[in-house]
A and B are shown apart, each in its own frame.
Chain A
Amino acid sequence: MQQLDNQEILMKLKSQKQFWDIKKKVKQGFSDQQKIGINDIQKFAQSCEIEDQLIKLISHILKKSKKRETLKEDQIEFLNTSKIKWTELLFKNLDIVHQKAKNQEEDDTNTDSKLYIYDEKNLLAFLQTFKQQQPSVLYQNVQFQSNKLLNINIPLKSSQQILDKYQYILLQEELPEEKINKIRKSIENEHLDIELEKIAQTYVPNGERCLLYLKYFEFDHQETVLQQNFAKLQKECQNQLFIDELLEIDGHEISEDTFYFVFQEQILTCLKCFIRDKSIKENIRIQLQNGMKKEHAEFQLPVAGFFPFKNISKYVAPLCYLSTKIHIIYALFKEFFCRYFCFLHAISSEYNSILSLCMQIEEIVSTRSPKLFHHLKVIGCDTLKLIIHQLIYCFVGDMDPPHILTIYDQILGHDSLEILVILCVGFLNKYKPKLLLAKNYENVQQIFQELREDKFQELVQFAYKQ
C-alpha cells in the first residue's frame, strides 16, 4: 500500500465534486463576515456536519489509493501447479484450434464454425481432476460428501452465511415513485463508494445505472480520457491476430440472440481492444493463466495476459444496454471483468473463484435438496454440469437484459459473485419437479430447450423455497 502525502490528498480532494460543494457551503456560511478565523470555520463545520462529510471523503480517497495487487500465487500450493497445467493445456488447445482453422481455409466444405480454446465444460472437467490429486483427509470417509463432483480442501464460507446475506432481496417490494426519484437524486449527488454500493444492493432505477457504474469506477469525469484510450486501442486492432478470428466466431454466436444481434459489431470491437489492452494485466484482480512464456511456440499469451474463451462476448452484451457510446461500454466491461468476472475463470482458492462458487452450490443443493442432488447424480447429469453454463456466464442468454443488469448491480453492490450461487440454487429449485421426472441426460436437455423465462426476483424466491 502506498502512502499519500498531504499535498497528494489535497490534489485528489480537488478532483471530487463533493469537495467543491463543501467549500461552496462554507463560503456561503461566512458571506457576511470579513475576518474569518480557523476556529470559526471549525465551529461552523461541526454544526453543519461538514466535518463528517470531509472526514468521510478523505478516508474514501485513502481507501481508493490502496491499489489491489494482482493475485499471482495461491495459498494452496497444488492450485498453483494446477494453474500451470491448465495454461499448458490451453496452449495445446490453441495449437489444435489453429490447425483446424488452417484446414478449414484449405477445405471450404469442412466448416466447423465453433472454434474456441476452451469452454465452461472444459474448465469444469479440469476442476474435476483435482479430486483425484488431492483427496481430502477431512471428507474421505463421509459417504454423502463423496457424491460431490468437487472435493477439495479449501477455505469456504458457510453456505448459511451466504443465504443469510442475500435474504433481504426477498423482502423487497415495488418502490413508490417518490422513493425512486430520491434514489435518482442520490445517485447524481453521491460520490462515496459505500453509498453507491448500498444503492446497488437495493434498487437501481433504469436509466441511472450507467451513471452509477461510472461513478463507482470513478470514470464520471474522465470521458475524454476513456475515449482517447479506446481510440488508441482501436488503432492497434488494425494489426490482425489469429485470436481475432476466434473472437469473430464468438461474436457470430451472440448474434443468434435476439436481444444482442444489433450489438454484434460493438461487442467484437470491444473484445478486440480488450485482448490488446496492456493495462489489464495491472488491473485484473487475479491472474487467469500462468504468465509463462513458451519458447519457440507459435503463439504467446495475448497482451491482456489470458486466452479468450468461448462466449466471452456474453459478458459485454448486456452492457450494450447501458450506453450508446462504445468507449463507455468498453470501460464498464473492462472494470467488470478485471474486478469480478476474472474470478469465474481463475483456478484459485479465493472466495469469489469458480472453485468456491461451485462447491458452495453443491453444498447447498446436497443439503437442502438431497433428493434432487442424488437423482441428478444417478441419471449421470451432476448438479454442477447442469448449472455450470449459467454460473460462468452470469445467466446471460437465460434472462432478459434488465434482469442480467440486476445481477451486475448485486455483484457490484456486494463486491462479490456470491449472488450467482443463490441464483443457481434458485434455478435448480425452479425446475426441480421437471428434473426429478427426467430419466436421462437427454430428458434434462429437453427441459432446458423448451421456451422458458427466468427472472431475477423469481429465482431468488425459489432459492429460499424449502
Chain B
Amino acid sequence: MSEYFRKYIKKEHYANHQYQFMNQLQLKPQIQNFFQKLHIGSIQQLLNQAFKRRLWKETDGDDWDIMWAEKEWIHEVMDHTHLQSNQKINHFRNHYELTRKDLMIKNFKRYKKNLEREGKNEEANNYNFFPLTFHLPSEYPIFFEEFKRQSNNGDTKTAWIMKPIGKSQGKGIFIFNKIQQISQWKNTLRYNQDNPQAEAYIVQKYIADPLLIGGKKFDMRIYLLCTSYQPLTLYLYRTGFARFTHHRYDNEDISNTYVHLTNVAIQKTSDNYDEKLGGKWNLQTLKLYLMTKYGQEKVAETFYNIQMLMIRSLQAVQKIIINDKHCFELYGFDILLDAQLKPWLLEVNASPSMTSNTPVDFELKCGLLDDVFTIIDLEKVLTGNEEQIGGFDLICKGNPIKLPVNSTFTTYLGAFNNRSQQLKKIAKSTAIRLAQSYQEGQTKAIEVGSKGQKEKEEKDKQMRSSSKGPQVMQNGVNGSIKTTNQSKQNTIIKRNTTNLPALGTAQNKSNIKRYPLQNAGQQSQQIQQSQNNSSKKNNPNEDSMLSANQKLQKLTQESKINQFQPYKQQSQYNDVMGMGSRNLQKNEE
C-alpha cells in the first residue's frame, strides 16, 4: 500500500496481508554498477525502491501477488500458467499488436478501413497521426512505386526513415532520400522475401518539419496506463518528458543520427551529452514554453489532440488485444510535434525505460510506479471510480472522459503534478469510507448477533413463562435487555481481543463496577480503552489503536477545514470516530 494510504487507513479496515512481488527482470551487472556509482537508478533499483516503499516483499516462489516481468517472459510462460484470482502481471498477452512498429500500423490501417466501411468517415479521418508506412521486405514494390511517384513529382528531398522491427533504443535506424542509399541493405540476405531469416523493417516517410526548440529536435515521452481493454480503462500520467537531441537540427544532413534521433540511448554516446540535465524537459516546462510562444488556446488544443491520439491508438487495438483481468500495462508513447503543432505517433513501448539519469528523474519515476501500483489496487481499497489517482488521470472508461465544459483544462497532460497532495486527499476519503463500511459491517454483525441472542432468550422466556408468573416475566424482559447489551459488549470485545490478553484484569472490573448504571455502549468504550492501554503496554511497537485514532481525529479536523467531505459523510465519520477522541481524552487524564 502506498505510504500515503498507510498513514490514514487502519490495518483492520482492509484485507491486509504481506504482499509479495516477483521480479523477472534481468540486467547486466556492469550497467547496474555504473548507475550505482552515479547515485541514480536502473530499472531494477527503481522497482525495488518502489516496492520497498509499499512494504512489499520479493519472493521466488509461486505465492506472488504481482509480477513485474519482461515481455519475453509473458510470451514464454503466461500461456502455460494458471494465475490466482488476485495475481497481477504487467503485460497483456499479445501487447505486441500495439507495441511492435509494423503491427501497430497494420492495426491502425485496418481499424481506419473498418470505420470507413461503417460510414464513420469523420472518426476514420482522425487516424492521420502516423506517417505513411510500409513493411519491408513484403511491401517493397508498393513502397518503390510511392517513392518513384514522389520523385516524378519533383520531390527529391523527402526523406524516409528505416527502422528494424525487432530493435529498440534507436538501434539500426537510418534515414535516406535516394533509393540507392538502401541498395546496400537490399543486396544483403535481409531483403530476400523468402528468406526466413530476413530481418523485417518498416520504412516511414520522415517528418521533415519537426518543431524545433533552441534549434533542436525533440520528442515527447508520455505514460499511459491501461488496466483493462474491456471496458477500455486508461489512465494518463500528468508528467512526461521532452527529450532533446544534442545537436542542432539540420534537414540536409541526414546521416548524423545525433541530429535526428532523440533516444536517450543514442544521445548518451554524444560528446555534448550533459549528464546533469539529461537533455530533457519536464512536460510542464515544454507546455510553458509552447504557451508563451503560441498562446494558451493553441497549446490546449495540441495537448488535447495528444490525449485523443493515445485513446484512439488503444481503441484501434481494443478488440485485438486479449483482455485479461490479471493484466495491466504501462505504455510509453513517443510523440513528435511538427512545426504546426500537430502530434505524430512515433511508437508505443510496452516496457518504457525506467532508468533514470538524474535524482529528480529517479524520484519522478518512482512516483510513477508507485501510482501504477496504487491504481492496480491489490489491497482492494479503491472504488474504481476515482478520476485521479496520484499523478494519473482517468481519461477513458469505456468511452473517453470529457472534462466539464467550464473547466479551464482540456486535458491534465502537462499540468502541475499534484500527486502527493492528491494521494493524501484520496487516502483520507478512502479511510473514511472504509471506516464507515467497517462500522456498518460491525453493526450488522451486532444486529445478527443480538437477533440470535434474542431468539434464544425468547425461547427461554417461553419456557420460563410456562413455569413462572407475570412478575417474573417482567423481570425476564429487563433481563433480556441486559443480556442484549451484554452481547453487544461481547461482540466488540471479541473484535478487539483477537490478539490481546483476555479481559478480566482488576482494572477492567473496577471500571465496570464504577459505572454500573451506564449503558452498555459506554461500558464497551471503557473496555476498549483499557484494552488499548493494555495492548499498548504489551505491544509498544505495534501500531496502536490510539495512535490510529489520534491520526483519524486529526484527519477529521483537517477534513473539516478542507471541506473535502460532504456534510453527511462528515457527520457519519464523526459518529464513528467520536469514540476515538473520547478515548484519547481519557488516556490523557
User: Which residues 286-323 in B have Cβ within 8 Å of A in the complex?
Assistant: 288-289, 291-296, 298
> Which segment, of A37-45, A258-266, A303-311, faces chain B?
A258-266
Kindly state whether residue B248 has any CB partner on chain A within 8 Å: yes
Kindly state whether residue B344 has any CB partner on chain A within 8 Å: no
Closest to A210 in B: B293
Report if A259-B285 is in contact (Cβ < 8 Å); known contacts: A206-B296, A207-B293, A265-B248: yes
Kindly state whether residue B472 has any CB partner on chain A within 8 Å: no
Kindly state whether residue A255 has any CB partner on chain B within 8 Å: yes
B530 shortest CB reach to chain A, Å: 46
Kindly state whether residue A53 has any CB partner on chain B within 8 Å: no
A373 shortest CB reach to chain B, Å: 35
Q: Residues of B with Cβ closer than 8 Å to A?
A: 211-216, 244, 248, 274, 276-277, 281-282, 285, 288-289, 291-296, 298
- Chain A, residues 254-280, CB within 8 Å of chain B (1/0): the string is 011011011111100000000000000
Report if A261-B277 is in contact (Cβ < 8 Å); known contacts: A207-B298, A266-B214: yes
Closest to A252 in B: B274
A457 shortest CB reach to chain B, Å: 16
State the CA gap A324–B337 with chains docked (Å): 14
Contact across chains for A208 and B295 when beta carbons are under 8 A apart:
yes
Specify which chain A residues have a CB less than 8 angstroms from the CB of B285 in the assembled complex.
258-259
B241 shortest CB reach to chain A, Å: 12
State the CA gap A236–B296 with chains docked (Å): 39
Contact across chains for B293 and A205 when beta carbons are under 8 A apart:
no
Residue in B274, B288, B295 whose beta carbon sits within 8 Å of that of A261 in the complex: B274
Contact across chains for A205 and B295 when beta carbons are under 8 A apart:
yes
Report if A207-B288 is in contact (Cβ < 8 Å); known contacts: A262-B281, A264-B214, A265-B215: no
Specify which chain A residues have a CB less than 8 angstroms from the CB of B294 in the assembled complex.
206-207
Specify which chain B residues have a CB less than 8 angstroms from the CB of A206 in the assembled complex.
291-296
| Complex A-B: 10 CB contacts under 8 Å | A205-B296, A207-B291, A207-B296, A255-B277, A258-B282, A261-B274, A262-B216, A324-B212, A324-B213, A401-B292
Residue in A208, A320, A322 whose beta carbon sits within 8 Å of that of B214 in the complex: A320
Specify which chain A residues have a CB less than 8 angstroms from the CB of B211 in the assembled complex.
324
Report if A322-B292 is in contact (Cβ < 8 Å); known contacts: A258-B281, A262-B216, A265-B214: yes
Kindly state whether residue A233 has any CB partner on chain B within 8 Å: no
State the CA gap A201–B531 with chains docked (Å): 69
Specify which chain B residues have a CB less than 8 angstroms from the CB of A266 in the assembled complex.
214-215
Chain A contributes a number of interface residues (CB within 8 A of B) equal to 26
Contact across chains for A401 and B295 when beta carbons are under 8 A apart:
no
Besides A258-B281, A402-B292, 4 more A-B contacts (Cβ < 8 Å) are A210-B293, A258-B277, A321-B293, A322-B292
Kindly state whether residue A326 has any CB partner on chain B within 8 Å: yes
State the CA gap A446–B289 with chains docked (Å): 30
Kindly state whether residue A323 has any CB partner on chain B within 8 Å: yes
State the CA gap A265–B216 with chains docked (Å): 10
A255 shortest CB reach to chain B, Å: 7
Contact across chains for A401 and B277 when beta carbons are under 8 A apart:
no
Contact across chains for A321 and B281 when beta carbons are under 8 A apart:
no
Q: Residues of A with Cβ closer than 8 Å to B?
A: 205-210, 255-256, 258-259, 261-266, 320-324, 326, 400-402, 405
- What is the number of contacts between chain A and chain B, taking CB atoms within 8 Å? 63
Contact across chains for B292 and A255 when beta carbons are under 8 A apart:
no
Specify which chain B residues have a CB less than 8 angstroms from the CB of A265 in the assembled complex.
214-215, 248
Closest to B282 in A: A258
Specify which chain A residues have a CB less than 8 angstroms from the CB of B282 in the assembled complex.
258
Specify which chain B residues have a CB less than 8 angstroms from the CB of A207 in the assembled complex.
291-296, 298
Closest to A261 in B: B277
A178 shortest CB reach to chain B, Å: 13
Contact across chains for A262 and B213 when beta carbons are under 8 A apart:
yes
B77 shortest CB reach to chain A, Å: 43
Contact across chains for A321 and B295 when beta carbons are under 8 A apart:
no
State the CA gap A206–B216 with chains docked (Å): 22
Contact across chains for B293 and A322 when beta carbons are under 8 A apart:
yes
Closest to B247 in A: A265
State the CA gap A323–B292 with chains docked (Å): 10
State the CA gap A326–B213 with chains docked (Å): 11
B209 shortest CB reach to chain A, Å: 12
Closest to A259 in B: B285
Specify which chain B residues have a CB less than 8 angstroms from the CB of A400 in the assembled complex.
288
Specify which chain A residues have a CB less than 8 angstroms from the CB of B281 in the assembled complex.
258, 262
Contact across chains for A402 and B291 when beta carbons are under 8 A apart:
yes
Specify which chain A residues have a CB less than 8 angstroms from the CB of B213 in the assembled complex.
262-263, 324
Contact across chains for B292 and A321 when beta carbons are under 8 A apart:
yes
State the CA gap A258–B295 with chains docked (Å): 21
A273 shortest CB reach to chain B, Å: 15
B336 shortest CB reach to chain A, Å: 16
Closest to A177 in B: B297
State the CA gap A401–B289 with chains docked (Å): 8
B439 shortest CB reach to chain A, Å: 42
Closest to A267 in B: B214
State the CA gap A442–B292 with chains docked (Å): 36
Contact across chains for B274 and A262 when beta carbons are under 8 A apart:
no
Specify which chain A residues have a CB less than 8 angstroms from the CB of B292 in the assembled complex.
206-207, 209, 321-322, 401-402, 405
Specify which chain A residues have a CB less than 8 angstroms from the CB of B214 in the assembled complex.
262-266, 320
Specify which chain B residues have a CB less than 8 angstroms from the CB of A262 in the assembled complex.
213-214, 216, 244, 281
Closest to B244 in A: A262
Specify which chain B residues have a CB less than 8 angstroms from the CB of A320 in the assembled complex.
214
Specify which chain B residues have a CB less than 8 angstroms from the CB of A263 in the assembled complex.
213-214
Closest to B246 in A: A265
State the CA gap A310–B75 with chains docked (Å): 59
State the CA gap A206–B276 with chains docked (Å): 31
Contact across chains for A255 and B215 when beta carbons are under 8 A apart:
no
State the CA gap A258–B289 with chains docked (Å): 12
Specify which chain B residues have a CB less than 8 angstroms from the CB of A321 in the assembled complex.
289, 292-293
A161 shortest CB reach to chain B, Å: 32
B307 shortest CB reach to chain A, Å: 21
